[in-house]
Amino acid sequence: MSDITLIRAESVTTEPRLVRGVVIATVLALIAVLLFAPLIAVFAEALRQGWAASLEAFASADAQSAIRLTLIVAAIAVPLNAVFGIAAAWAITKFDFRGKAFLITLIDLPFSVSPVVAGLALVLLFGVNSSLGAWLVANDLKIVFAFPGIVLATMFVTFPFVARELIPVMIEQGRAEEEVALTLGASGWRVFFTVTLPNIRWALLYGVLLCNARAMGEFGAVAVISGKIRGETTTMPIMIEMFYNEYLSVAAFSLAALLALLALVTLTLKSALEWRHADLLAATRRH
């Protein structure tokens, strides 16, 4: 008897079998066309003239300096954003102050600003025809069309990633554990390193992972502020554009394939984190 009622109960809260089949097939077909096809195209185009030609593309000085620059920019921008994210999450979740909601809106602001507008804003602030820019030039500090500008642009577009991941997790955990550690005589830093950090480490790693993927792939903001000086301010995505516009298709797609591999590694690690440590990630990521 129970079997029969179970089957009936199931059937009123789902769609007819035929509908389900058609919907699943349609969704899979669309995913194949919209998501998997572009990914496969990157590798297919990179290997169009064989492995040798593709690997040769990495040997060029342009490609190597682009890879080096991208790695260095990410190595500076991502830790800085992680420090920002931790500081912001600590201030916002452990203390009460006025204007908190407004502050969170400001932290989220870069998500609704075009990367190109972000680059433009940085050029207007630090460029030669602003008063700050003129002062910087007088003191021989170059930001626009130089390395610091690329770091700032990368930080702008990846700004909310770590903070957004940490804030919900730390709100959920409250501050009781930290308070206990404090009453037991631990110093502030010790509380942070032995109580808070272990609690948020997976969420932090998750945020850093997403931040890094976006940092290494940022194009619009960097395109504006870097000035695209070959071999000097060309990151990997900028170099891909240059190769592509010079009809060096294999070189462009080979660099693109390297970034696509990075994306696949990011997705794999991200899924692994979601499956293993779902309880320690922000509630919105749990599924």
Partner 1 sequence: MRASILRSPSPLPGFGLSFGIMMAILSIVVLLPIGALLGRGLMIGPADLWDMVNSRRIWSALSLSFRAALIASLFNLAFGLILAWVLVRYRFWGRKLVDAAVDLPFALPTAVAGIALTALYAPNGVFGQVLAPLGIKVAYTELGIWMALIFIGLPFVVRTVQPVIEELEREVEEVSATLGARRAYTLRRVVLPTLAPAALTGFALALARSVGEYGSVIFIAGNIPNLTEIAPLLIVIRLEEYNYDAAAAIGIAMLLISFAMLLAINLVQIWSRRRIGLV
Stretch that binds partner 1, among 52-60, 134-142, 198-206, 212-220 (CB under 8 A): 212-220
- At its nearest, how many Å lie between partner 1 and the CB of residue 68? 17
The residue among 39, 62, 74 whose CA lies nearest residue 252 is 62
User: Dihedral of CA 159/160/162/167: which sign?
Assistant: positive
55 or 283: whose CB is closer to partner 1?
Answer: 283
Scan residues 166-185 and list those touching partner 1 (CB under 8 A). Answer: 171, 174-175, 178-179, 182
- At its nearest, how many Å lie between partner 1 and the CB of residue 55? 18
Asked if residues 259 and 217 have their Cβ atoms less than 8 Å apart, the reply is yes
165 or 178: whose CB is closer to partner 1?
Answer: 178
Scan residues 183-202 and list those touching partner 1 (CB under 8 A). Answer: 188, 191-192
- At its nearest, how many Å lie between partner 1 and the CB of residue 265? 9
**Cα 158 to Cα 74: distance, rounded to the nearest angstrom:** 10
Binding pattern for the stretch 54-73 against partner 1, x by CB under 8 A and - elsewhere = --------------------
Binding pattern for the stretch 15-54 against partner 1, x by CB under 8 A and - elsewhere = xx---x--xx--xx-xx-xxxxxxx-xx--x---------
**Cα 131 to Cα 112: distance, rounded to the nearest angstrom:** 27
Amino acid occupying residue 82 = A
> Per rule CB under 8 A, is residue 244 in the interface with partner 1?
yes
- At its nearest, how many Å lie between partner 1 and the CB of residue 268? 8
Binding pattern for the stretch 74-113 against partner 1, x by CB under 8 A and - elsewhere = ------x--xx-xxx-xx--xxxx--------xx-xxxxx
The residue among 150, 126, 274 whose CA lies nearest residue 210 is 274
- At its nearest, how many Å lie between partner 1 and the CB of residue 235? 10
Scan residues 113-132 and list those touching partner 1 (CB under 8 A). Answer: 113-118, 120-125, 127, 129-130
- In the block, residue with structure tokens 């008063």: 131
Report how far Cα 46 is from the mean position of its chain's Cα atoms. 24
| DSSP secondary structure code for residue 99 in this structure | T
User: Distances in Å between the alpha carbon of 30 and those of 11, 36, 128?
Assistant: 27, 9, 48
Scan residues 142-171 and list those touching partner 1 (CB under 8 A). Answer: 152, 155-156, 159, 171
1 or 176: whose CB is closer to partner 1?
Answer: 176
- At its nearest, how many Å lie between partner 1 and the CB of residue 117? 5
Neighbours of 239 (CB within 10 A): 26
**Cα 125 to Cα 265: distance, rounded to the nearest angstrom:** 36
User: Distances in Å between the alpha carbon of 8 and those of 17, 23, 115?
Assistant: 13, 22, 52
